[in-house]
Amino acid sequence: MTLLFACACGAIGSNIYYAQPLLVAIAQTFHRTPASLGFLVTATQLGYACALLAIVPLGDVLDRRKLIVRLLALNVLALVAIVVSTNDWVFLAANACLGVTTASAQLLVPFAASLASEKTRGQVVGTVMSGLLTGIVLTRSVSGGIAQASGWRAVFGVAALVTLLLTLLLSRVLPNDRGGGRVEYRALMASLVTLARANPTLVMRSLYGALVFACYNMVWTGLTFLLTKAPYGYSEGLIGLFGLVGTAGMLSARSAGRLFDRGHGNAATGAFACMVLASFALVAMGGHSLVALLAGMVLLDVGVYGLHISNQSVIYSLAGDARSRFNTIYLTSFFIGATAGSSIASMAFAGAGWPGVCLAGAVCAGVLLMLWLGAQRFGRQALSLPAGD
């Protein structure tokens, strides 16, 4: 069952990343400049963040099985709309809907955590998230290859078919969940504020997540612009292959889960934050050095995904029966950071090129590390840090 959850998260979560290595090809179709299309990635992730806030909390009170399957069916429709889009505004609206319906992946993660035993929860979360990361890695590589052979629309056509098959599979094999019933939605949403106020560790971990994913998206949004220009001048297929460096992040996810289970979650968090900051020194040199760029991206992926799994392991250990709502608070912050990172990267590249993107990312990573250091010095008792943090 853990393997099923991991594969499902990988297939679903990949849908919001297909456009990243294809921005130049999409821009040519709609007669726009590549830099101006950074908002397309932003729209998808903003839709995802809105769904995390408005839909994922329902996983604590409704039948998650039914909710997941229905969202996946809508996800298929959004992918088909992207395939047949005739202008950039239709494409933008379809991508926003795609982001909203892809949030089903974040119903699966707390679902898996609730099925796991307390002693193995960190490892289970790490395994499921490894599946998600594998999907992201393969997305960038496969989408670039398909686009080069058959055009960017074929990428979303294949995604629609895969998602349709997954919808049919999950509708049959997902375990039964609690029965659905009437729910006071306003009270459910108000409880998010109550949970945040009562759990300062959740708030701090949400800030970590927002900052680290902003760093990640700055690099990946700016990378497409960098690699299409001199000295690289790469095609969509070659740009997609850069996603393979994410296998390092995939491996770090399971390791981070095991470190938490063994009581080393807080030390691991600091180490991963340092990796993210150090990676920007290498990716900055990547403007003229492919070796430095690849090394920096490997270090970035290890730091980002290791810190992400450390965060999730901590909050799920605190959540009890409120895992979907804890996930909502954390991941809404996480993807608000992602949205901000994509926007900042587009503006920074337009104004100062690749060095501007790297400087903005380094500043963000520095703030992250200072927050962690401040928590060690002043906040451990105030944050009521759990065992292993």
Query: Which tens digit of pLDDT belongs to each residue from 234-252?
Result: 876 677 677 677 666 666 6
Q: How sure is the predictor about 120, in pLDDT bands with cuts at 50, 70 and 90?
A: confident
Which residues make Cβ contacts (< 8 Å) with residue 227, sequence separation at least 6?
Answer: 233, 234, 238, 239, 242
Mean pLDDT rounded to a whole number for the chain: 82
Is pLDDT larger for residue 91 or for residue 80?
80
pLDDT digits (tens, 9 = 90+) for 208-234: 999 999 999 899 888 878 888 878 888
In this structure, the number of other CB atoms found within 10 A of the CB of residue 179 comes to: 8
The pLDDT of residue 287 is above 80: yes
The pLDDT of residue 303 is above 80: yes
Q: Where are the domains of the chain?
A: 2-175+183-379
Give the pLDDT of residue 236: 63
Give the pLDDT of residue 145: 77
CATH number corresponding to 2-175+183-379: 1.20.1250.20
Dihedral of CA 94/95/100/104: which sign?
Answer: positive
Give the pLDDT of residue 178: 64
Task: Identify whether the C-beta of residue 279 lies closer than 8 Å to the C-beta of residue 260.
Answer: no
Element (H, E) at 60: none
Give the pLDDT of residue 383: 45
